[in-house]
Structure 1
């Protein structure tokens, strides 16, 4: 109903379409930003490194890289004290260095 008698209340269908486009655009932008964050900061950047096995646990072998970081390399067939080549996540080392700035 209109506030002035005799004038019909006209509603535009374009306002509903516009609001749906805005919401859809915000969702797409959020999805692109989330995808970028996951690809840049979360995905591992693994390199093959020589590591020294320091312990064998139920979760896998714990090894120490040559620059002093402890990493879990998964199941291995080595004994503590042996050196093996293993895939090591460099981003894990970067996060560890950020948490301990004295190293």
Structure 2
């Protein structure tokens, strides 16, 4: 409809047109909402393979090499992550420093 046609219409006719447009919009919006809700249900109900793999597998991290070694038992090492091992905590209480147990890296 063109602007000239709307200007020639009476107020009652314009109001009827307004109500008809409102009803048509409500019907179309309800139909679009139903389509979108159906798509959302499908997405929630059946996750894709990538999502299932991403949730079930842990992220791969590079290996962390030990940085500290127990001088009394060289097989006991610590990478500096997580809780301090008991042997290191005991040595620190006796007055030694963490750097005293650092493993020397080989020169490349």
TM bucket, shorter chain? 0.3 to 0.5
Normalised by the length of structure 2, the TM-score is 0.35
Higher strand share: 1
Tell which has more relative contact order, 1 or 2 (C-alpha 8 A, sep 6+). Answer: 1
Higher CA-based Rg: 2
